[in-house]
Amino acid sequence: MPSEIRPDTTIVDWHRRYGDAFGRLNREWLEKYFRVEAVDEPVLNDPDRHILSPGGAILYAVQEGEAVGTVALKYQSDGIYELTKMAVTRACQGQGLGRQLLRAAIARFREIAGSRLYLESSSRLGPALALYESAGFVHESRPEPSDYQRADVYMVYRESPASGAE
């Protein structure tokens, strides 16, 4: 369980007022654990074009007016979305923000009546994988090669009453 949950955290939709928070937050975690890959650059540099315009969504965890976490639903095709670019700044880790962002992303997926939600991750990120599993994601074989060099895990959301997504 999180060591501290801040009641002043709100989850909001992407807005220009948060500036480059989407790119900044994701670069922070990517550079800590891996590296920013060529496939990441367009999305991090222009999330409006690569996430929002095609029909996806970006959510932020906000504390005291500052975006301290983010997650995206990237539209792939007819009802299929990738849960991607989930990051929480180091100073705010351990507050349950990842779980709040994940719940909000799943709720948004339901609102838009998506049919399939998947994610790609790395076996090096044990706590993240445990979080995804607790929310109803299950490991599956990858249907096609990944665009990410760091990704060796493929998971699909399977809603169930036992999942921690509610």
Residue 64: inside a domain: yes
pLDDT top residue among 49 and 6: 49
* Domain assignment of residue 58, given as a range: 10-157
Distance CA 21, CA 17 (A): 9
Phi/psi class of residue 143: alpha, beta or left (left: φ > 0; alpha: ψ in -120 to 50)?
alpha
For 77, other C-beta atoms within 10 Å of its C-beta total 10
The CATH number covering residue 53 comes to 3.40.630.30
pLDDT digits (tens, 9 = 90+) for 117-146: 999 999 999 999 999 999 999 999 998 999
Q: What is the pLDDT of residues 23-36, one digit of tens each?
A: 999 999 999 999 99
Integer Rg of the chain from CA? 15
For the question of whether the overall pTM of this predicted structure is more than 0.85, the answer is yes
The reply to whether 3 falls in a domain is no
Q: Give a yes or no: residue 165 inside a domain.
A: no
Domain count, the chain: 1
Any domain includes 33: yes
| Nearest in space to 15 (alpha carbons), one of 63, 55, 66 | 66
> Quick one: pLDDT at residue 5?
56
Residue 1 lies in a domain: no
High-pLDDT (> 90) share of the chain, %: 85
Q: 96: how many CB neighbours lie within 10 A of its CB?
A: 20
Q: What is the pLDDT of residue 159?
A: 80
Q: Kindly state whether residue 2 falls inside one of the protein's structural domains.
A: no
91: left (phi over 0), alpha (psi -120 to 50) or beta: alpha
Burial 119-137 (b: 16+ CB within 10 A, else e): bbbbeebeebbebbeebbb
Q: Classify residue 140: in a domain, yes or no.
A: yes
